[in-house]
Amino acid sequence: MTYPVSTTQNSLAISISGSGGTGAVTVGLILLEAVAKAGFYGVMTRSFGPQIRGGESAVMLNLSDQPIETLAEFSHIHLALDWLKFERFADEIPLTQDSLVIYDNSREKPPGLVETSGAKLIGIALQNAVKTVKDSRMNMFALGVLAQQIGLNSMSIEAALKKTLGKKGDAVIHSSLEAIQAGRQLISDSYYAVLSNWQPTHQPRWNISGNEACGLGVLRGGLKLAAAYPITPATDIVEYLAPRIEKLGGRVLVAEDELAAMNMVIGGSFGGLPSMTATSGPGFSLMTEAMGLAIASETPALVVTVMRGGPSTGIPTKSEQTDLNQVLYGFHGEAPHVVIAPLNVQEMVTISQWSLGLAEALQTLVVEVSDQHLGQSRVIIDPIPPVDFKLKRLLPAATSSDYQRYQLTQEAVSPIAWPGTPDTQYTADGLEHTETGKPSSAAKDHQQQLAKRAQKTTQFDYGERWAKLTEIENSTRMVITWGSSYEAVRAAVETLNQQGERISLLGLRLLMPLQTQKIQALTQGKAIMVVEQNASGQLFHYLLSDNAIPQNSQSIAEAGPILFKPSTVHAALTDCLETLK
Amino acid sequence: MTHASQTPLEKIAIKTVKPTEYLSNVHPVWCPGCGHFFILRALTKALAWLKLPKEQIGLVSGIGCSSRLPAYLNVYGFHGVHGRALALASGLKANRPDLTVLVAGGDGDGYSIGGNHFIHACRRNMDMTYIVMDNEVYGMTKGQPSPTTPSEWQSKLTPNGIGVARFNPLGIALAAGASFIARGFSGDPNGLTKLITEAIQHKGFSLIEIKSPCVTFRPEEKEWQKSMRSLNISPSSNPAEAAKAIYSSDGFDTGIFYQADLPIYEPSNTPCDAPADTLAEIEKDLSV
Amino acid sequence: MNAMNTNTDAHPHLKTSHHNMAWVLAAINEMLEESIYHCETLSHTLSVHHNLKAAKVFEALCPHIISEQVLMEDSSTSIPLPEIPPWEIPYQDYIHPVSTLTHAHYLMSESDAWKIMSEVVQVHSCFYSYLLEKNQPPEIESLLKQLRQLNTDCQKICRQHQTPHDVLPADLDPPIPQS
């Protein structure tokens, strides 16, 4: 069966699998970097078994001559260093009769599902090949095989190899290069030598993961404290920050648990400097009390949550857009705050910086929602130019007498004193309080402070960044989506529009406060379809609850962990469009 | 200066800082007779003696009678959630090592819900002072046993006695790595003032466990006035010796049990204004 | 921190140095400041707990202690008082007001309040008597005797208002949890 491929750009999908430290991931990393050095783009995701080391693992690359972040419909080339537990990857490495499967034929046979896919199978003696080059590894031969298959030049491979394995020393580099060269000879015909037909770019590009992009964004935003407790799949963010934040005068604080982490963020922020934590669903649950404290005490705080399969322990290593309800509603009392979700890796640097800036300027909790797919995908992107959002804390005027920390002001944001400044001492409090911060149970104070905390987020002008709109003239249909679903939806909508439909696309970034009026204006008179990666349609119900979308809107909601591809979205949208006729 | 007494002696040249200068215009609402009043006074006397500028002090508390402290002082305070004061204070000190960081709370806030943070705060040994006002009961929620309540105490929640051994905060602090461990008593304000002064001056995590009678829910604790006494030995910097002193004590000794020069955790020594060049260097690493 | 006592004596931190006038004045001042502070604070918290009668007693007696301070002020010239560590004064056997204030109760009677004040003032007398036992210059001796006389007058007032056999009334409102 041939799957419909996105017609919007050239792409080539390569996957590699292997176990027990065979080095499948290294092949993927070098290949991605090499393809980038050759002038192209790509996205790499990975999958693995539960073993801490030595388990089965796979990498999936989708390459293109244009920026790309969508998952491939199927693998054009799959290389199996071995077939141990390959069934685990069946959903993530679809094989069709257009696939080429290369494997080591000196060991176990391909599993049945590979045979039944109709793919072309080529067996080569990879293990034997290792004997021909001293100190060589099988995966380097595999790299040579792949390079030859896709028409990737040796210069790019060599540069990528040195960058990735440079630390291992010259001997390793030398033997690896020999192995790669030998690998090029192992298969005489190339079936997917497409790179020579693509237009390479000579512009600078970045090789970056979503979690790294988040880290860079907050560093650009002036972050000085990251307090965190390790949790899959968010730990990478803090690991990226640790050696870098110190160069910029900041620090990472390893917390004993998530409860400590969030309170440390508040303490650090109270001290006057931008502070954040990174977590995922279960950690977020633990942090909710402290997040409420940040809101009530009006302490700037950024929480980046990298969603994974839920609920409870769920599926830690896989992605799902399943925590929307949690980040919107997980707090007791009236807890107005800001929720922002980047649409892809490419914009994560800017959106993360924006999120931190908003926390500082609005003196409240900002939750930036990412997910495992965005966080752990490695993508080749165009470099992100610096942006100055001009978002800073409002400090008291130099001559302050009768300073009131929670003073009611026009913008509902009151100046926040820098500890160490004379005459502006105050006590921040989770208890409801008067304008001075003195605890109060009076109705008037409660109403005023509730209104203050709500208004400062709703009155703020977030500018154009609240959503990404692709408006098609005279369209009567609109698809709304968010987060990591965006790229697949975008590709599917583009294809449908090329096929004669007129569908506009709205990618929401600012999820709270909900820009209801703006969304109503955009959706008026259109048939709406909301696409999201969770079982119950959390975004759909959220938009309905505030009448942001019409009552007859349709929901396309699929639980993870198998993520949307352009084809699956295309099929689902086609079904919806049918019902409209 | 907001407290009422403006005494005639101000006419005499007193160059000292008055303890009342550290008070805000919010008066405590603790029960008449509560030990916390004397702790508050001793704290302000210690701060005045050390001449610490008010604006350089950060005071973090949790929830409970003792945690109401920040509102009564004219410093930068944070009244946070139950049990997490030490974590909040650690974040504050990490970002602002220039501030004098004080943490206040009770036995429930610190040893029950806050137990994990207590252990790790001792372990990190960051330079801060933790003042625990231990009245061996949950006062704010009206009289339940806390981890330091004697096991035979009867309450509505535990009509047949608690049946669980008491928490040993000094022992745990020692094992966890705190570098200054002392016990004080609200009924010995002079001694307490000295302990607080020394605790603040000590570089590292200082714990002062202060027995403070809850006259409302544990009125029998007023008898402590008769039993508490000063520790008869000098503080040791040897943990084994200090452990012996802690375990030998019947719980009525006040003084410093342990004081040592241990490594302090300081997450970053670099100044906050760093050259922007390094951001460019960081971004260079991303280049293909 | 210049006059900071860095000795860690095993025993009481209280040192006495009653030989010069400045020290004596500083020590008395510290004792009086402490008593005034606690009486004012207790008066305030009793008001907050709606025991206005007892609150008024402490409020009424503060001026008596302040008058001790005024007496000192009048009889001294402009002397810079030394900065003595607060734990070293007033003197070794000083009994801090806490030992009697701990018996305060939000339902305490006026008689109880007078009794407590009496005990606080008694401590002052003890200090003055202690100082008088050591040889003092004549101005100090005169001052101390006057102070002691103030105390005696105050005690008379306290005793007048005390009634024997006082029983704490029952609390008709049980406590309500707050957090």
pLDDT tens for the 179 residues of chain C, in order: 222 333 333 223 334 455 677 888 889 989 999 999 999 999 999 999 999 999 999 999 889 899 988 888 777 666 777 888 999 888 878 899 999 999 999 999 999 999 999 999 999 999 999 999 987 888 888 889 999 999 999 999 898 888 776 666 777 666 666 55
What residue has token string 């929480």? A303
Residues of B in contact with A265 (CB under 8 A): 91
- What ipTM does the predicted assembly reach? 0.94
CA-to-CA dists, residue B248 to B160, B164, B195, B232, C153, angstroms: 29, 20, 20, 12, 48
Structure-model confidence comparison of residues A185 and A401, the more confident one: A185
Give B139 to chain C, closest Cα distance, Å.
9
Spatial neighbors of B179 by CB under 8 A, at least 6 apart, are B125, B202, B204, B205, B206, B258, B259, B260, B261, B262, B264
Distance of CA A266 to the CA centre of its chain: 25
**pLDDT tens-place string over residues A257-286:** 999 999 999 999 999 999 999 999 999 999
Size of interface A-B (CB pairs under 8 A): 186
Burial class (CB in 10 A: 0-12, 13-18, 19+), A120: middle
Q: CA–CA separation, A279 vs A263, rounded Å?
A: 14
**pLDDT tens-place string over residues B170-185:** 999 999 999 999 999 9
Q: Average model confidence (pLDDT) for chain A?
A: 95
Contact between chains at B32 and C98 (C-beta distance less than 8 A): no
What pLDDT was estimated at residue A3? 44
What pLDDT was estimated at residue A491? 96
Size of interface B-C (CB pairs under 8 A): 158
Contact between chains at A430 and B281 (C-beta distance less than 8 A): no
State both tokens at C133.
């036992």
- Top CATH class of B15-284 equals alpha beta
HSE of C35, CA atoms in CB hemisphere, 13 A:
31
Domains (range + CATH), chain A: 12-197 (3.40.920.10), 207-381 (3.40.50.970), 394-460 (no CATH), 464-580 (3.40.50.920)
State both tokens at A399.
């001559």
Q: Would you say residue B82 has pLDDT above 80?
A: yes
Contact between chains at B81 and A430 (C-beta distance less than 8 A): yes
What pLDDT was estimated at residue A93? 96
State both tokens at B213.
């009678």
Domains (range + CATH), chain C: 21-76+89-161 (1.20.1260)
Contact between chains at B194 and C85 (C-beta distance less than 8 A): yes
What pLDDT was estimated at residue B114? 97
Contact between chains at B187 and C72 (C-beta distance less than 8 A): no
Q: Would you say residue B6 has pLDDT above 60?
A: no
**pLDDT tens-place string over residues B99-108:** 999 999 999 9
**pLDDT tens-place string over residues A487-541:** 999 999 999 999 999 999 999 999 999 999 999 999 999 999 999 999 999 999 9
Give me the mean pLDDT over the B209-224 stretch. 95
- By Cβ distance, the residue of B15, B33, B49 closest to C102 is B33
* Adjacency order of strands within the sheet including A510-512: A251-254, A225-228, A275-279, A301-307, A365-371, A338-340, A510-512
State both tokens at A93.
């490495």
**pLDDT tens-place string over residues A429-487:** 999 999 999 999 999 999 999 999 999 999 999 999 999 999 999 999 999 999 999 99
**pLDDT tens-place string over residues A193-240:** 999 999 999 999 999 999 999 999 999 999 999 999 999 999 999 999
Please state the pTM of the whole predicted model. 0.94
Q: Would you say residue A19 has pLDDT above 50?
A: yes
Radius of gyration over every alpha carbon of chain A, rounded to an integer in angstroms: 26
CA-to-CA dists, residue A140 to A23, A40, A180, angstroms: 9, 21, 5
Judge contact between B56 and B91, C-beta under 8 A: no
Residues of B in contact with C24 (CB under 8 A): none
Give me the mean pLDDT over the B133-154 stretch. 92
Q: pLDDT category, A2, cuts 50, 70, 90?
A: very low
- By Cβ distance, the residue of A249, A252, A430 closest to B80 is A430
**pLDDT tens-place string over residues A39-77:** 999 999 999 888 888 889 999 999 999 999 999 999 999
What pLDDT was estimated at residue A234? 98
Contact between chains at B88 and A270 (C-beta distance less than 8 A): yes
What pLDDT was estimated at residue C174? 62
Q: pLDDT category, A122, cuts 50, 70, 90?
A: very high
